[in-house]
A and B are shown apart, each in its own frame.
Chain A
């Protein structure tokens, strides 16, 4: 049987983060479970699913989202909901807002927090926030992410760059403000307070998002895995993801997964043979490591079923 872990190397970074990307329905959640169970033999592994369909709860017969649940010895799972996390994040700040703007509490504080929750980009920001803390998580050796829909995931991966641009601008202005304060106070012979909480905070934030940006493009800290099917739309999305990773992050996926490959006789019977053949040819020509998983007649619905898929995995291109 093939060794999936070998196909992800290098995986030294602790924690090492594996991001499983791909169109909804291609088998992202199943692949994430396979990879997590494999990695958990090397060290404590957390699988976090942002899948809005929450399939993971079904596969692992879990009913409570958000909590970290133990599946087996070193294999832990958690289902997160981006909308719920966004709500939590904004309500965390709502007391600060009402403290700062006391007059708002009788007027429109509710509207502000609501507006924030639905503001464009908040899902991406929540995901990034979570991601930056994942890289600091010392409790796990591996963190596998069953990612939210591709659009959100790719925009999230873009954010650190954008954040750093904004922060640079704010830092420039703030440094000027602080130095002007210093000069004014000195000239007037007043006492000078040098440290500025806002500037310190800005430096901290630059550190934090700089670290995420770096970790994302370091193959020993992050593995991107992209899952697809022998169908036009999943392939289209695969190309989009590859293009994004190359152009925006100057990186490439560790592993490509072609899932749900129809056995030849069935493909012929369904009249899908030619299309599947052409797609697999294209898939095989892509650079990097890749594997294939056949379509199984009874779709995996339990952990055991998914782990059994592993026996059917074939390597297209190895390490």
Chain B
């Protein structure tokens, strides 16, 4: 009897843990979605002037570029190496537009 109770209790605890984990994972993926969208928007604004989209001044964009090196490198590696490299790059930003 005691054993059964213990077992049920343990199962209940792991159930709660699982639910918790699921909730955490759910909310994290929601946060991650927002994060990715914002990052795409940010990089679009900064890289825009380099592809002729006047999102802000080209000089401001160049001034910022150095600090964004890593992010841009990740993007570049994602982009298709075609004729229009920056075009592909912008496309690889993805996100819901």
Stretch among A31-39, A60-68, A97-105, A133-141 lining the B interface: A97-105
B72: interface (CB < 8 Å): yes
Q: Mark B24-56, 1 if CB is under 8 A from A, else 0.
A: 100110011011001101100110011010001
- What range describes how many residues of B lie at the interface? 35 or more
9 contacts between A and B (CB under 8 A): A96-B62, A103-B81, A107-B85, A119-B49, A170-B56, A188-B24, A198-B68, A201-B66, A205-B63
B60: interface (CB < 8 Å): yes
CB of A223, distance to nearest CB on chain B (Å): 26
Q: Mark B56-93, 1 if CB is under 8 A from A, else 0.
A: 11111011111111011100100101010110010000
A236: interface (CB < 8 Å): no
A201 contacts B64, C-beta separation under 8 Å: yes
Give the complex CA separation of A205 and B57 in angstroms.
Answer: 13
Give the complex CA separation of A125 and B62 in angstroms.
Answer: 12
Say whether, besides A100-B76, A176-B38, A122 and B67 are in contact (CB < 8 Å).
no
Question: Within residues 196 to 254 of chain A, which ones have a CB less than 8 A from any CB in chain B?
Answer: 197-198, 200-202, 205
Listed in ascending order, the chain B residues whose CB lies under 8 Å from chain A are 24, 27-28, 31-32, 34-35, 38-39, 41-42, 45-46, 49-50, 52, 56-60, 62-69, 71-73, 76, 79, 81, 83, 85-86, 89
Give the complex CA separation of A81 and B62 in angstroms.
Answer: 21
B66 contacts A170, C-beta separation under 8 Å: no
Most chain B CB atoms below 10 A, which of A97, A104, A166, A198:
A198
Say whether, besides A97-B50, A177-B42, A201-B67, A121 and B35 are in contact (CB < 8 Å).
no
| Chain B interface SS verdict (over half) | helix
Say whether, besides A96-B65, A187-B27, A200-B67, A173 and B42 are in contact (CB < 8 Å).
yes
Pair count A-B, CB < 8 A? 101
Smallest CB gap from A121: residue in B? B57
Which residues on the B side are within 8 Å of A103 (C-beta)?
A: 76, 79, 81, 85
A115: interface (CB < 8 Å): yes
Give the complex CA separation of A167 and B60 in angstroms.
Answer: 9
CB of A222, distance to nearest CB on chain B (Å): 22
Give the complex CA separation of A37 and B81 in angstroms.
Answer: 58
Other-chain residue from B34, B45, B58, B65 in contact with A100 (beta carbon distance below 8 A): B65
5 new A-B contacts at CB < 8 Å, known A170-B46, A201-B67: A101-B76, A170-B64, A198-B68, A200-B67, A201-B66
CB of B13, distance to nearest CB on chain A (Å): 19
Which residues on the A side are within 8 Å of B83 (C-beta)?
A: 107
A295: interface (CB < 8 Å): no
Which residues on the A side are within 8 Å of B69 (C-beta)?
A: 100
Which residues on the B side are within 8 Å of A184 (C-beta)?
A: 28, 31-32, 35
Say whether, besides A177-B38, A177-B39, A184-B32, A89 and B63 are in contact (CB < 8 Å).
no
CB of B46, distance to nearest CB on chain A (Å): 7
A112 contacts B50, C-beta separation under 8 Å: yes
A116: interface (CB < 8 Å): yes
B59 contacts A115, C-beta separation under 8 Å: no
Smallest CB gap from A189: residue in B? B24
Most chain A CB atoms below 10 A, which of B39, B59, B62, B76:
B59
Give the complex CA separation of A176 and B34 in angstroms.
Answer: 10
CB of A98, distance to nearest CB on chain B (Å): 12
